A = this chain, B = another copy of it.
Amino acid sequence: MSTAAVGTPPVTLDTLNPKVLKCEYAVRGEIVTHAQNLQQELQKNPDSLPFDEILYCNIGNPQSLGQQPVTYFREVLSLCDHPALLDKSETHALYSSDAIERAWQILEKIPGRATGAYSHSQGIKGLRDEIAAGIAARDGFHASGDNIFLTDGASPAVHMMMQLLIRSEKDGILCPIPQYPLYSASIALHGGSLVPYFLDEETGWGLEVDELKKQLEEARSKGITVRALVVINPGNPTGQVLAEENQKKIVEFCKNEGLVLLADEVYQENIYVEDKQFHSFKKIARTLGYTDDDLPLVSFQSVSKGYYGECGKRGGYMEVTGFSPEVREQIYKVASVNLCSNVSGQILASLVMNPPKAGDESFESYMEERDGILSSLARRAKALEEAFNSLEGITCNKAEGAMYLFPRLHLTQKAIGAAQAAGTAPDAYYAKRLLEATGIVVVPGSGFGQVPGTWHIRCTILPQEDKIPAIISRFKEFHEKFMDEFRD
């Protein structure tokens, strides 16, 4: 006896987990699929489109646009992948001596020097200790390797925390709007409620504690138990860097309201303005005198961002403080189910938190690569921001940090009408037209959330510097035509 209806496939959209259906992830959504199709068209028939390449400005993926990896990091990874090299004299002709020494040190931290073994579920202890030392040096406050959970990039760490905290749609997570859609996707997948708080575009995407309070109370009045506050600093997609005083108020807010503070700090190295500095939320909390007993706080970090931009390596960690031992044990258990994160990513996470020091053979070339990338990113951010602001109907806040600009499109009624006629959001319509005219891929603001009735796009600052002028002029030309076409 079978209860399966004849002819009905075992899995249809109607019988899928509805949480999966609900989840959206615009950074790799429709516009990117469209771009990939155009790219294939271009390969088959190079003259078929009004541009000769697709420029992926939709995703913070620096090396896909030509950024070179940091040599020292790759030397160490290469040696750890093939430790037999370390015994050979010829190796000195190919690798810097401090990379060789560092590879030895890393192997000594790995039980049996086995880079091919599952590690401890939290990651290799010696590497976690090294990361903790890096955090302590950054913050001026103690950090412990026992609090580090190494993960395959930051995304699985975010999922892990959502999984832990969300019991049902009555559990809410305060998230900035605009937000990086990993958060909305993860909350949807885990069946919780996203409680939005709006960043203030007028004040450079300011994060106001009054707005947090208002939204928290509104959520509570609807019967939502708000479990955590997500803060992305530097901001994604918004690029702002929080001021220390503002961060203090946020910490106090979490403490007073009994919220877990989930601090997305993956852009901590990406600061492009002189008057702003990165302060970790843990440093802020400790400065305020809060200890491990006062405030559950998770900081996410990734090797994908910074000046290194090693997205393909999937390395990252979360520093977990302020939870009871029993809750910590549950986090450990969930980490254990996936055994461990990839060991190359673990090694790289330890390297970025403890890069070459003055006096090391690679130090000067390392600093040159690092500063070259960061100063170029700062110039690119400024050039693109100025270009956006020079255009009719576009206003754009500064990218103080991170890798994105999030310009606002002041679209005409006629343009909005054309989008509606095409059955898409106005910013999605604009992004599609931009892509088809220029090959530039950006993400519509609707993928990140925005104040209703406002329209934006997220554009990375990552194309190589020599391409920026051409991008700007292609963009300008498209935009002017678009404005002319849709002038009310």
Question: CB-CB < 8 A to A18: which residues of B?
Answer: 167
A304 within 8 A of B: yes
Q: Does A451 contact B (CB under 8 A)?
A: no
Among A15, A66, A81, A90, the most chain B Cβ lie within 10 Å of the Cβ of A81
Query: A295-325 toward B: CB 8 Å interface, digit per residue (1/0)?
Result: 0100000001000011111100000000110
* Contacting residue for A342 out of B85, B166, B313, CB 8 A: B313
Alpha-carbon distance A167/B342, docked complex (angstroms): 30
A330→B81 contact, CB < 8 A: no
A260 within 8 A of B: yes
Contact of A312 among B9, B71, B167, B340 (CB under 8 A): B340
Q: Does A8 contact B (CB under 8 A)?
A: yes
Give the number of times this chain occurs in the complex, counting copies: 2
Q: List 17 A-B contacts (CB under 8 A).
A: A2-B256, A4-B259, A9-B324, A10-B258, A12-B327, A16-B167, A17-B164, A20-B164, A21-B330, A69-B115, A114-B312, A116-B310, A117-B312, A155-B339, A163-B189, A312-B340, A313-B344
A20 CB to closest chain B CB (Å) equals 6
Q: Contacts A11-B296, A85-B78, A165-B11 hold; do A152 and B152 have CB atoms under 8 A apart?
A: yes
Residues of B within 8 A of A314 (CB): 152, 340-343
1/0 contact trace for A59-86 toward B, CB 8 Å? 1011111100101001101110110110
Most buried by B among A8, A20, A258, A339: A339
Asked if A48 is at the interface of the complex by the 8 Å CB criterion, the answer is no
* Residue contact A69 to B152, C-beta cutoff 8 Å: no
17 further A-B pairs in the complex, CB-CB below 8 A; given A3-B220, A27-B336 = A4-B256, A11-B260, A13-B330, A17-B165, A23-B333, A28-B339, A63-B114, A65-B112, A77-B81, A81-B81, A90-B94, A114-B312, A118-B304, A152-B314, A152-B341, A312-B340, A314-B340
Of the residues B155, B310, B342, contact of A338 by C-beta under 8 Å:
B155
Q: How far is the CA of A334 from the CA of B3 in the complex (A)?
A: 29
Is B11 within 8 A of A323, CB to CB?
yes
Q: Give A244-272 as 1s and 0s: 1 = Cβ < 8 Å from B's Cβ atoms.
A: 00000000000011111000000000000
A161-202 interface with B by 8 A CB criterion: 163-167, 182, 185-186, 189-190
Q: CB within 8 A of A28: which of B13, B116, B336?
A: B336
A488 part of interface (Cβ distance < 8 Å): no
A90 to B117, CA, bound (A): 30
Which B residue sits closest to A71, measured CB to CB?
A: B84
Number of interface residues of A (CB under 8 A): 104
* Chain A residues within 8 Å of B, Cβ to Cβ: 1-5, 8-13, 15-21, 23-25, 27-28, 59, 61-66, 69, 71, 74-75, 77-79, 81-82, 84-85, 88, 90-91, 93-94, 111-112, 114-119, 121, 152-153, 155-156, 159, 163-167, 182, 185-186, 189-190, 217, 220, 227-228, 256-260, 296, 304, 309-314, 323-324, 326-327, 330, 333-334, 336-345
Distance (whole angstroms) from the CB of A354 to the closest CB of chain B: 19
Q: Which residues of B contact A17 (CB under 8 A)?
A: 163-167, 190
**Nearest CB on B from A165, distance (A):** 7
Contacts of A165 in B (CB 8 A): 11, 16-17
Q: Specify which chain B residues have a CB less than 8 angstroms from the CB of A256 in the assembled complex.
A: 2, 4
The answer to whether B344 touches A117 (Cβ under 8 A) is no
* Contact A61:B117 (CB < 8 A) given known A16-B164, A164-B16, A311-B339: yes
Q: Is the CB of B189 within 8 A of A337?
A: yes
Distance between Cα atoms of A18 and B167 in the complex (Å): 7
Q: Which 9 A-B pairs have the closest CB atoms?
A: A4-B258, A78-B82, A312-B343, A64-B117, A314-B342, A63-B116, A28-B336, A63-B114, A118-B311
Bound Cα distance from A368 to B62, whole angstroms? 41
B-side contacts of A91, CB under 8 Å: 94
